[in-house]
Amino acid sequence: MSESCGVKITLASAMGTCFGVQDAIDMALDPAFAGRLTVVGQLVHNPQTVDQLRANGIRIVERDEIDSITTEAVMVTAHGAADSTKADLQARGFTVYDATCPLVIRLHKLARWLERKGYFVVIVGQRDHVEIKGVVGNLQNCLVVAGVDEIGPVAGNRKVGVVSQTTNRLERVWEVVAAIEQLDGIEEVRFTDTICQPVKDRQAAIQDLLSNDIDLGIVVGGFNSSNTRKLLDLLHDRGVDAHHIERPEELEAEWFTGRNHVGITAGTSTPQDVIEEVHQAVRRLVCL
Ligand code: SF4
């Protein structure tokens, strides 16, 4: 904790880039790939990092733009992809480099294991998220639910296996598991916790900020970053005023008027440099 003009500022004890994202960035920035790599999908959900990759000559295309790739090497992102997607890229003659995070690979393996063992697989997460599309693409039949409101179609299955998007909030997933257990005809619900440890660490660090009585939260990360948005939700759910920004220029002076203690946190794809820029900008704004 530091203090500026009588206002306390605390940085979360766990925040910013996780090992999975960092490994993927390091792989993409390997000089051996200079000028000959296309990343399929956003390598990380962070605008500054995407800008850095582009500045290093790396092309980034969406999955529906594969026809436009002109490089020989392509990279699958930390969020992973279905085997069929990788096979399609190989069949087109590309050399595929796989930056899928090991914890996403674990999720794929567990979901497939559950399916092989006869469980109807329920994935708690966002069906339009690239990680979940990859997991779904490797299964014969499954259901993606965002929350308890969407579990109706699970009824009628006797054995249900539940996994989660790696960036979820555990208490939300448990709500879904408990609701499925109440459905008619269910004999077994097998839940495997696939939320990744770096995400849990960042969520736990929010609890520490709350214990220190922050009265304003600043959450730094891509607006399209699932785990960053969850950090914001967590603060709001606990009744703390909080704002989500991508860049320090988005901070507004009036947010800091009358505050005593500001907590700063960041999602798993937010670079340390950006966090520090925000920290310094907050120090200036609390003194206005
Ligand atoms: S958030 Fe978790 S699952 Fe995703 S890249 Fe980071 S460590 Fe891997």
Q: Spell out the domain ranges in the chain.
A: 2-16+197-285, 19-101, 103-191
Q: How many whole angstroms from 50 Cα to the centroid of ligand 1?
A: 17
Q: Is the CB of 198 under 6 A from ligand 1?
A: yes
* CA 174 vs CA 125, 162, 168, 189, 288: distances in Å: 13, 10, 11, 11, 44
Mutation test of ligand 1: which of 104, 228, 230 has the most ligand atoms closer than 8 Å to its C-beta? 104
Strand 7-11 to 2-4 pairing: antiparallel
* Fold classification of 2-16+197-285 (topology level): Cobalt-precorrin-4 Transmethylase; domain 1 (3.40.1010)
Residue 47 confidence (pLDDT): 86
Atom of ligand 1 nearest to the CA of 167: 1
Q: Going edge to edge, which strands form the sheet with 73-76? A: 59-61, 37-40, 73-76, 95-98
Model-level pTM?
A: 0.91
CB distance 50 to ligand 1 below 6 Å: no
Average pLDDT over residues 18-42: 91
Res. 64: pLDDT tops 90? no
Nearest partner of 274 among 227, 197, 219, 209, judged by Cα: 219
Q: Residues 221-250: pLDDT tens digits?
A: 999 888 999 999 999 999 999 999 999 999
Please check whether the two domains, 2-16+197-285 and 19-101, share a CATH topology: no
Tell me 14's DSSP state.
S
User: What's the CATH number of domain 103-191, 3.40.50.1820, 3.30.365.10, 3.40.50.300, 3.40.1010.20?
Assistant: 3.40.1010.20
Q: How far is Cα 172 from Cα 148, in angstroms, rounded to an integer?
A: 9
The radius of gyration of the chain's CA atoms, rounded to the nearest angstrom, is 21
Q: CA–CA separation, 174 vs 124, rounded Å?
A: 10
The preferred substitution site among 199, 225, 229, 270 for testing ligand 1, maximizing ligand atoms within 8 Å of CB, is 199
* Gap from CA of 284 to ligand 1 centroid (Å): 32
Task: Extract the tokens encoding 71.
Answer: 């490089």
Residues classed as catalytic: 131
